Amino acid sequence: MDSQNTLDLIQTALDVQFRYAKGPVPTDLFEHPRWEMSAAHAGILTGLKNLYELAPSVPEDKKIDFAGYCLLWVSLIQLHHNFEEEHFLHHYPEAFEHKADILSEHQIFHDGIEHIKSYLLGCLPLGTKWGFFGEVVAEDPSRAQSQATTFDGAHLRTLVDAFAGPLTTHLQAEIGYFAPESIKAAGMTEEKIKQMGKDTQEMIKKIPLQPAFVYAVYHTAPGIEFPPLPRFITKFLVPWVLHWSGTQVRGWLHPQQRQCH
């Protein structure tokens, strides 16, 4: 796959998410799952598009910082899919036939995400903190040498090319699975949707503000109000405090993202 093809796939998938993600929390509870899902996917696709566009032109002295920025995207997609598999899907009745589709689709690009993660970790010196939860790069059998590899943007793109097709297909298909008529037909109830909302809030509370919230806020497109964070966080804490406290996100924002915040 060539790079224009990958960017087209990402943009097409992003346009599908925007159709359902924009606007405030829907008043109809049965619209919530698709609204939340499409907004989360929009953040994942915006982050992927941004790192893919920037990868070939990263200055030599910024390569380690950029690899760390890309690993925030890895954290985001892993968090999203783990949450779906371990919490979100458990609220759905057995009659919701798309559970199996979702799990099998995750498996198709699982290796692709692991490859990009291990490549990026190999570009960081041992002991570096990475990702939303501040994990530390440690000696690993998959790491060929104790010295970090020099980041190569062209190589990173080939790793993304390898999973862009199945990932973007999955992110679009999932929006259809959570259509209100589909979940109603499967026996989903308002009570269960409310419980899912509480679970999502609990999960969000466990994520450290820095760098995850900075990443989330800066990769949220205008008009999207998910995750529903207090304005104190989105309009003050992120742009005026956390922005200046050593975040890797700061230097890698698309000009449009900078204007929005």
The smaller minimum CB distance to Fe ion, of residues 67 and 105, is found at 105
- Give 107-150 as a 3 state SS string: HHHHHHHHHHHHHHHHCCCCCCEECCCCEECCCCCCCCCCCCCC
The smaller minimum CB distance to Fe ion, of residues 64 and 173, is found at 173
Contact 170, 109 (CB under 8 A): yes
CA distance 186 to 140: 44
The smaller minimum CB distance to Fe ion, of residues 17 and 210, is found at 17
Instruction: Work out the burial of residue 4: count CB atoms within 10 Å of its CB; fewer than 13 is exposed, 13-18 middle, 19 or more buried.
Output: exposed
Give min distance, CB of 84 to Fe ion, in A: 5
In one-letter notation, the amino acid at residue 245 is S
Instruction: Please report how the helices 32-54 and 190-205 are oriented relative to each other, as an axis angle in degrees rounded to 10.
Output: 40
The smaller minimum CB distance to Fe ion, of residues 58 and 171, is found at 171
The smaller minimum CB distance to Fe ion, of residues 174 and 249, is found at 174
Give min distance, CB of 61 to Fe ion, in A: 36
Site string for Fe ion, 153-182 (x = CB under 5 A): ---------------------x--------
- DSSP class of residue 88 equals G
Give min distance, CB of 83 to Fe ion, in A: 9
Site for Fe ion in 96-115 (CB under 5 A): none
Total number of residues binding Fe ion (CB under 5 A)?
1
- 22 three-state secondary structure: strand
Contact 92, 47 (CB under 8 A): no
145 Cα distance to chain centroid = 29
Give min distance, CB of 218 to Fe ion, in A: 20
Give min distance, CB of 114 to Fe ion, in A: 18
Residue partners of 144: CB distance under 8 A and separation at least 6? 122
Residue whose CB is nearest to Fe ion in the complex, by number: 174
Give min distance, CB of 225 to Fe ion, in A: 18
The smaller minimum CB distance to Fe ion, of residues 9 and 174, is found at 174
Residues that bind Fe ion (CB under 5 A): 174
